[in-house]
Amino acid sequence: MDTVVSGIRSTGNLHLGNYFGAIRNFLKMQEENRCFFFVADYHSLTTHPHPDDLHGNIRQILAEYLACGIDPEKATIYVQSDVPEVTELYLLMNMNAYVGELERTASFKEKIRKHPDNINAGLLTYPVLMAADIIIHRAQKVPVGKDQEQHLEMTRRFARRFNTMYGVEYFPEPDAYNFGKQLLKIPGLDGSGKMGKSEGNGIFLADDPKEIRKKVMRAVTDAGPVAPDSEPSEPVKNLFTIMEVVSEPSTLAYFKEKHATCEIRYGDLKKQLAEDIIKVTEPIRERINQILNDPVYLGRIVRQGGEAARESASKTVREVREIIGYKPF
């Protein structure tokens, strides 16, 4: 049995990328492992959410976790800030994380390019906080999408560095994990790049069918295949990639064949894609609303999860302090 940890930032509703990149794995992993799934609300502070919104954002992600099928009887579900031990481990790990390597992180470079007016130290040390989240439960596996691969490499490096520095075999070196072997990158509907929370190119689990149809029908395509058996353009490939996770293999094969013979009508492809997405999201959307309407249930889950996560986290921090050389007076 492995220990599994993963988190999702509370900066917007869950979208198809989160679901297929991460959550679908959580559902399988909770059956056989010791799992910790949390809402990364400290991480969300890098973008300075308004105090009036913070709690609601956390509640929404929790409800969406549960609506997807994460089972609090099988996995520990908690809010990161309910486990302040994480911040102590983060501080300790910061002492062995070098500014040069943090500055070279792809996600940091992208953030400073997109938001040059908000290059805060929390962004720079974001991978250290993420490492602390993972190693605080001494996890072996971390189900994430492709975009988190480099952060996981850094986590392994920080864990190894700690072990070497203190001559111990304390932290396992955790691996990014996907059941289908390859980590996934679900593209957006705008023709390039990945589906994201703030890119305006996403389909959210909480979107209603009408909205989903509208978004998919507006997705970027091209003027049609240029010749028989030609390689689909990037935007069309992206629609096929989404189809690969939501549709039957025979549906995908049908539209690929139509593309190869230049008979494809993108309108038909989009109609089918929208219906197949709705089949995945609609039951989840209904459960999200039910759960949001039951604050007593949510409160119970989060308290129970927080306690279990703190028990595991405080044991690690106690042992790490000992390894570093802290002694009681």
Known catalytic residues are 111, 194, 197
Residues between 174 and 203 that touch ligand TYM (CB under 6 A): 184-186, 194-195
Question: Which one, of 131, 34, 36, 135, lies nearest residue 79 by Cα?
Answer: 36
Interface residue with ligand TYM, options 140, 148, 178, 247 (CB under 6 A)? 148
Contacts with ligand TYM by CB under 6 A: the residue count is 24
- Complex with ligand TYM: residue 161 or 258, whichever CB lies closer: 161
Check binding of 219 to ligand TYM (CB under 6 A): no
- Complex with ligand TYM: residue 17 or 225, whichever CB lies closer: 17
10 Å Cβ neighbour count for 132? 27
Check binding of 18 to ligand TYM (CB under 6 A): yes
Check binding of 102 to ligand TYM (CB under 6 A): no
The CA distances from residue 174 to 104, 163, 198, 227, in Å, are 21, 13, 29, 46
Q: What are the residues facing 37 on neighbouring strands?
A: 6, 77
Interface residue with ligand TYM, options 77, 89, 134, 242 (CB under 6 A)? 134
Angle between helix 266-292 and helix 234-246 axes, rounded to 10 deg? 50
3-9 sheet: strands from edge to edge: 75-79, 34-40, 3-9, 141-143, 175-177
d(CA 82, CA 96): 25
Tell me which residue has its CB nearest to ligand TYM. 21
Residues between 38 and 97 that touch ligand TYM (CB under 6 A): 40, 43
- Complex with ligand TYM: residue 40 or 66, whichever CB lies closer: 40
Check binding of 5 to ligand TYM (CB under 6 A): yes
Residues between 291 and 320 that touch ligand TYM (CB under 6 A): none
User: Which window, 96-104, 145-153, 210-218, 229-237, contacts ligand TYM (CB under 6 A)?
Assistant: 145-153
Interface residue with ligand TYM, options 3, 21, 246, 281 (CB under 6 A)? 21
Backbone angles phi, psi at 207, to 5 degrees: -65, 140
Minimum Å distance from CB 43 to ligand TYM? 5
User: 188 and 201 in contact (C-beta within 8 Å)?
Assistant: yes
CA neighbours closer than 13 Å in the CB half-sphere of residue 176: 19
| Lookup: tokens for 2 | 């492995």
User: Which window, 68-76, 95-103, 110-118, 142-150, contacts ligand TYM (CB under 6 A)?
Assistant: 142-150
Helix (H, G, I), strand (E, B) or coil at 36: strand
Interface residue with ligand TYM, options 147, 245, 281, 312 (CB under 6 A)? 147
Burial category of 197 from C-beta neighbours within 10 Å (exposed 0-12, middle 13-18, buried 19 and up): middle
Check binding of 140 to ligand TYM (CB under 6 A): no
Question: Interface mask (CB under 6 A) for ligand TYM, residues 114-133, using x and -?
Answer: ----------------x--x
Q: What are the residues facing 3 on neighbouring strands?
A: 34
The CA distances from residue 196 to 193, 203, 288, in Å, are 9, 9, 20
Interface residue with ligand TYM, options 26, 30, 108, 145 (CB under 6 A)? 145
By the criterion CB under 6 A, which residues form the site for ligand TYM? Answer: 5-9, 17-18, 21-22, 40, 43, 130, 133-134, 142, 144-145, 147-148, 184-186, 194-195
